């Protein structure tokens, strides 16, 4: 069907089924409780339909289109990040060069040039941006600006670009195809977020880092970690080159790193005294509010699978 590998197609159908079920539940709950406002829930589910729909569309249509789509996400994420953090007036010309790193980084992805892909931002962009700042001649706030700009590029461009590089790795699971590892990474990261939230709501009593994220609990973290590890061990052989034991480790990596991605971006927002990073996605806030976990899970999962099988 549509030329999609069978396991990836099945995974997509399951996700769509979950969305249909969520939409049905929302309609039933809204009908039974007409006095309560379920607008935010409706907005969240509608946004998920759009996000999943666009993701599936680009993955099915073309590998190059999917890479361009992830490059666009990096652009939006970098733009959003730089819109909330303090920067100097003189940094505008430097920031323009930071944006230029996006097409170049994704060009290396499209060419499957791993050697340049892996060092372009951590080495060359890291060294170049401060030089451009020096040539402007403004030294006040130099260290702070250099750190902010480079860290923003690392998070939103370098880390996220690892998702798209999964698409150009040689296919080692024909039933999943090139899109299989991408679907696995994205689904497991979101599943981890949901499980940690649900377990925290049901059993959460002991705060894990209350000054950063008061709603995070040890019960939520451990419950989510156990859930995503078990499911990962089951799904990994179907969607990736990993066997079930390697899938369990992948689940542990995603569970732990997803948690830290979430709280790192939460720390940024608390430092800036803002609730959301933006309002791009109705019901969810900004793009970074949705990508916070994947920023950490993407590079760590990529290098885990790359080390084992490539």
**Band (211; pLDDT cuts 50, 70, 90):** confident
> In this structure, how many other beta carbons lie within 10 angstroms of the beta carbon of residue 77?
27
Q: What is the pLDDT of residues 81-106, one digit of tens each?
A: 999 998 888 999 999 999 999 999 99
**Band (1; pLDDT cuts 50, 70, 90):** very low
DSSP the chain: -TT--HHHHHHHHHHHHHHHHHHHHHHHHHHH-TTS--HHHHHHHHHHHHHHHHHHHHHHH-HHHHHHHHHHHHHHHHHHHHHHS---GGGHHHHHHHHHHHHHHHHHHHTT-HHHHTTIIIIIIHHHHHHHHHHHT--TTHHHHHHHHHHHHIIIIIIHHHHHHHHHSPP--TTTTTHHHHHHHHHHHHHHHHHHHHHHHHH--SBSSTTT-TT-BHHHHHHHHHHHHHHHHHHHHHHSS--HHHHHHHHHHHHHHHHHHHHHHHHHHHHHT-S-S-SSBTTTBSHHHHHHHHHHHHHHHHHHHHHHH-
**Residue 302 reports pLDDT greater than 80:** yes
**Band (43; pLDDT cuts 50, 70, 90):** confident
Determine what percent of the chain is predicted with pLDDT higher than 70. 99
**Residue 41 reports pLDDT greater than 80:** no
pTM value is 0.93
Average pLDDT, the chain: 92
Q: What is the mean pLDDT of residues 17-26?
A: 89
Pick from 26-35, 106-115, 136-145 the range whose average pLDDT is largest. Answer: 106-115
Q: What is the mean pLDDT of residues 9-14?
A: 94
User: Looking at per-residue confidence, does 281 or 131 come out higher?
Assistant: 131
- Whether 191 and 231 have beta carbons less than 8 Å apart is answered as yes
């Amino acid at each position: 069907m549509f030329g999609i590998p069978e396991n990836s197609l099945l995974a997509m159908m399951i996700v769509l089924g979950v969305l249909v079920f969520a939409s049905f539940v929302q309609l039933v709950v809204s009908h039974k409780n007409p006095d309560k406002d379920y607008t935010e829930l409706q907005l969240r589910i509608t946004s998920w339909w759009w996000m999943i729909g666009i993701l599936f569309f680009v993955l099915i249509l073309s590998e190059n289109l999917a890479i361009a789509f992830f490059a666009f996400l990096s652009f939006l994420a970098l733009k959003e990040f730089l819109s909330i953090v303090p920067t100097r007036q003189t940094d505008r010309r430097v920031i323009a060069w930071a944006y230029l790193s996006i097409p170049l980084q994704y060009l290396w992805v499209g060419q499957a040039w791993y050697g340049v892909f892996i060092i372009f931002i951590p080495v060359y962009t890291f060294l170049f941006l401060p030089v451009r700042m020096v040539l402007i001649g403004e030294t006040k706030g130099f260290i702070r600006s250099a750190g902010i700009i480079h860290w923003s590029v690392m998070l939103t461009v370098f880390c996220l670009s690892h998702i798209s590089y999964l698409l150009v790795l040689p296919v080692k699971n024909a039933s999943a195809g090139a899109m299989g590892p991408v679907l696995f990474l994205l689904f497991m990261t979101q599943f981890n977020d949901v499980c940690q939230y649900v377990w925290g709501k049901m059993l959460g009593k002991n705060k894990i880092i209350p000054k950063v994220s008061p709603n995070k609990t040890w019960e939520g973290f451990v419950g989510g970690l156990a859930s995503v590890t078990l499911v990962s061990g089951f799904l990994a052989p179907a969607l990736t080159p990993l066997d079930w034991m390697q899938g369990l480790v992948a689940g542990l990596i995603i569970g732990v790193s997803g948690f830290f991605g979430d709280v790192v971006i939460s720390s940024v927002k608390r430092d800036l005294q803002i609730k959301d990073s933006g309002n791009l996605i109705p019901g969810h806030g900004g793009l970074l509010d949705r990508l916070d976990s994947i920023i950490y899970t993407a590079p760590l999962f990529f290098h885990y699978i790359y080390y084992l099988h490539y």
